[in-house]
Structures are given as structure tokens and as C-alpha cells.
Structure 1
Amino acid sequence: MTRITVLTPDPADPSYSGQWPGVLERLSKALEAADVTVEATPWTDHITDASGLTGYPLVLPVIVWGYHRDHARWMQACRTWEEAGVRMLNPARVIGWNSDKSYLGRLADRGVAVPETIWVEGVTQADVDAAFDRLGTDVVVVKPRVSGGAWKTLRLTRGEAMVGAPEGPAMIQPYLPSIETEGETSMLFFGGKLSHVVNKRPVGGDFRIQVQFGGQYVALPEPPAGALALAQKTLAGIDETLLYARIDMAQAPDGGWRLMEAELIEPDFYLGSAPGGGRNFAEAVRAVL
């Protein structure tokens, strides 16, 4: 058996203590079938010193929940791991830049279709009020550039006062109504190959598709028409060696697909919907080992 390590949340943060052990158990079970044994260690134990990680043939940062609330130390840790040559997949440099959603702008510059986005350093009510006309919509979404799980994300209608504005760099996008009716589609890639597809829909009246807000997930037999092409274009635009990627997208009013997120850090793999409970992921890990 090959022994690897998985990075987990800060033990001082109780937010996820009841959830991440179950995720680790599912990952461990999938990897056991590929003769891989998993050890867990908090990412916050290795911020300035990577010596506790360099002995492993592979480090997976796939349960580093909460990094978005501790972003300065997260970026410091990513630099530490990269400089120490930790064999991490996805690579430390990638999970650093992927933690700031400004990467969507860079992908747009490479021809990837994303919702039109207004980037601001500190969002104000005036920014939001001006965005409706600029984006040609009556509903916008405001979110921090560094976020996770819809943290501090707002949906606002024209004339509505912004309450609980995100602090620091933020983004404003037109709201895509298809999220309520058709949902968001996620494609999971392991080792560059499509593994499975999941459709995620919010509960009635909400726009957040995360399970903590009641989101409902259904496995699809294949990607919707046109969606796979955008996912492949996204991966080509990223142009990095990736062990895993979750590409999230939704349909715009014109019927075209728009990239919502390229999750390269700690995405939910939806292993319950994956072939063999995660066989494709385990095989991708075994291949890099």
C-alpha cells in the first residue's frame, strides 16, 4: 500500500468538524481499492514549514475547507509548499491562484465564455446601482473574489439596498435565471478525463445550489449539449497539469453555456454519483503514483 496525505480543515475552526471526516472516509474508501492509504493532516499545521509533507509521494489538498476565511495564511502556505517542492496535486501554485475568482477574467481573455463581470476593489451601493444598466439586467449577483459555498454572496434586484456587503475585492455579475429552472451543471474530470456529470438545483425561491441550503443533486448520464465543449475549452485555457477539476456552468438567456467556476482546490467530487463510488478518481491517483 502507498501512503499519501490529505489536507483537512483547521482544527480550531469548528464550522466543518461534523462534515469533513465523512468526506475523508469516502475518499479513503475509494483510494483503498487502488492500494492507496490516506493519512489526514490540517493544512494549517504546514503554513511556514513544509517538512511534514515532503516525505509523502503525494499530497492532496482536497478538504482544505475554510481557506477562504484565512486567505492571507492560505497564500503563504501555498508559497511554502511550492518552494519546498511538495508533490501536491493539484499543484500548490494552481490552488493559490484558483482561490481568487479573478482567474475567470483571465479565462475570458482566452475565449472562455463567462458571465459578464464587473470587478471592484470594494463594492458599494453605487457600484451595484450602476451595474444593472451596465449589465442590462434587473437582477445581479454580488460575491467576494475570495469565497466558497456561497459565502457572503448576494442576489439583488434593481432598487434593492445591499445588506451585508462583501468586504474587499468583489465581483458583480448578471443573475442567470436558468439556475432556478435548469440548475447548474458540474462536470468532474480526473486525470484530464471526464468521469461523471451532476445537475444541481436550488430549493424553490433560492439561488444557492449548495447542499447546506437544500440544493438537490442528480447524476446525468452525459453532459448536456454544448456543455462539454465549454468544459474542454476551460481546461485548455487553464493549461496546467491537474489531477482533478470540477467545471461548473449554467445557461445564459441566449441559450449558451457560461462558466461559473473552475473548482481546482477542494471541490465536492460527488462520489456518490461517480462510477464505482470514485473508481475513476482512484485510478487517476494511482496513475500519478
Structure 2
Amino acid sequence: MTRIAVLTPDPADSSYAGQWPTVLERLSLALAGADITVVPTPWTDHVDRADGLSGYPLVLPLIVWGYHRDHGRWLQACATWVEAGVRMFNPPSVIGWNSDKAYLGRLADQGVAIPPTVWVEGVDQADVDAAFVRFGTEVIIVKPRVSGGAWKTLRLSRGERLADAPEGPAMIQPYLPSIETEGETSLLFFGGRLSHAVNKRPVAGEFRIQVQFGGQYAALAEPPAGALALAEKTLAAIDEDLLYARIDMAQGPDGGWLLMEAELIEPDFYLGSAPEGGHRFAEAVRARL
């Protein structure tokens, strides 16, 4: 059996204690089928020195949940891993820039369709009021540029006052009603190849599709053609050597597909909904080894 490392959350952070072990178990079972043994290790143990990772032929940062709340150390860790030449996939250089959603603006400059977005260094009521005027919409979304799991993400209606605003750089977008009616669609790619597609829908009255908010997930037999085209365009624009990628999309008011996020750090592969994806991921890892 080949032993590889999988980076996990900070042991001092109990936020995800009830969730990440299940994700680790699914990954471990899938990789065991390819004769690969997973050794979990907290990413926070390797911020300033990479000695503890150097002995592994491959390191996967697949469960580094919580990095967004310690972003400075996260960027330091990525720099440490780059300098030490840790064989990590996705590469530490990629998971560094992918931790700040400003990358969506760079992809938009390359022709990738994203929702209309206002970028601000610190959101206040004036920014919110201006966004309603600019977008001509009745509902907007405010979220931090560095976030995860809808952390500090707000949905505001016109006339509603901003409260508990995210600190630091943020983004404001018009709310997409299709999230409630059609959901969000995720396409999973392993080794550059499409593995599976999953549709995610919020429960009634909710706009967040994460499981902790009651989100309901279902595997799709085939990805919508427009979604697949956007995902492929997104990956071409990113142009990095990726082991895995999850491309999240939703439909805009005109029915066209818009990129919500290109998750290249610690995406949930939704193996609970699409267990066959585990085998495809294991094959992609074995190919790297």
C-alpha cells in the first residue's frame, strides 16, 4: 500500500468536528481500492516547516476546512510548501490564489461568465445602496472574498439595512432566484476528465445550499450542455495542472450559465450522492503516483 497524506482541519477548531471525519472516511475507502493508504495530518502543523510532509509521495489538501478564518497563516503555509517542493495536488501555488474569490474577476476578464459583481475593500451601507441601483434588482448577496461554506454570506432585500457585515475585502452580486427554483449545479473533474455532476438545492425559504443549512443533493445522469461548456471554458482559462476541480454554476435571469465558484482547494466531491466518483478519483490519484 502506498501511503499519502491528506491535510485536515486545525484540531483546535471544533466547528467541523462532526463532519470532516465522514469525508475522510469516504476518501480513504475510495483510495484503498487503488491500494493507497491515507494518513490524515492537520494543515496547521505544517505552516512554517514542511518536514512532516516531505516523506510522502503525494499530499492532498482535501479537508483543510477553516483556512478562511486563518487566511494569513494559510497563505504562509502555501508559501512554505511551494518553497519546500512538497508534491501536493492541487499545487500549493494554486490553492493559495484560489482561496481569494478575486480570481473570479480575473476569469471574467478572460471571458468566463460570472454574475455581475461589485468588488469592495470593506463593505458598508453606501456600497449596498449603490449596488441595488447598479444592478436594478430587489435582492443582493454580500459575501467575503475569503470565505467557505457560506460563512458571513448575507442576502439583503432593497431597503433592508446592512448588519453583521463581513470584514475586509468583499463582493456584492445580484441574487439569482434560480438558486431556489433550479438549484446550483456542480461538475467534478478528476485528472482533467469529467467524473460526475450533482445538483444542489436549498430547503424552502433558504438560499444557502450547504448541507449544514439543509441543502439537498442529487446526482445528475448527464450535465446540462451549457454547464459543461462553461466548466470546460473555466478550466481552460485557469490553465493549471490540476488533479481535481469542482466547478459550481447557476443559471442567470436569461437562462445562461454563470460561474459561482471554481473550487480547487478542499471541494466536497459529493461521494455520498455519486459514490462512483470515488473510483474515478482514486484512478486519477494512482495515475499521479
Quickly name the TM-score band, shorter chain normalised. over 0.9
Q: Identity, % of aligned pairs?
A: 81
Q: Which runs of 4+ in 1 moved over 3 A?
A: none
Q: Distance in 2 between matches of 1:172 and 1:155?
A: 10
Determine the structure 1 residue equivalent to 2:171.
Answer: 171
Structure 2: which amino acid aligns with 1:97? W
Deviation string, structure 1 residues 190-227 (Cα, Å, up to 9, x no partner): 00000000000001111000000000001100111311
Correspondence 1:108-119 to 2 at 5 A: 108-119=108-119
* Residue identity opposite 2:32 in structure 1: E
1:48 is paired with a residue whose SS is: coil
Counterpart-to-counterpart distance in 2, 1:38 and 1:274? 21
CA deviation map 1:67-101 (0-9, x unaligned): 00000000000000001000000000000000000
Normalised to the residue count of structure 2, the TM-score between the two structures is 0.99
8 Å CA contact retained: 1:112, 1:234: yes
| 1:127 aligned partner | 127
Please give the root-mean-square deviation of Cα atoms over the aligned residues, in Å: 0.8
Structure 1 residues 15-34: Cα deviation after superposition (integer angstroms, max 9, x where no partner): 11121111111100000000
Matched, 1:142 2:142: yes
TM-score, normalising length: structure 1: 0.99
Match of 1:31 in 2: 31
Partners of 1:196 and 1:275 within 8 A in 2 = no
* AA aligned opposite 1:85: G
Question: 1:245-274 CA deviation, whole Å, 9 max, x = no partner?
Answer: 000000000110000000000010011233
**AA matched with 2:72:** A
For structure 1, list consecutive stretches of 5 or more residues without a partner in the other structure. Answer: none
Residue 4 (structure 1) aligns with = 4
**Paired letter, 2:75:** M
Q: Are the counterparts in 2 of residues 6 and 41 from structure 1 also a CA contact under 8 Å?
A: yes
Deviation digits for residues 57-76 of structure 1 (CA, Å, limit 9, x no counterpart): 00000000000000000000
1:103-142: CA deviation from partner (whole Å, max 9, x where unpaired): 0000000000000100000000010001011112111100
- The whole-number CA distance in structure 1 between the counterparts of 2:115 and 2:83 is 35
Aligned partner of 1:156 in structure 2 is: 156
Structure 2 regions of 5+ residues with no counterpart?
none
CA distance in 2, matches of 1:15, 1:73: 18
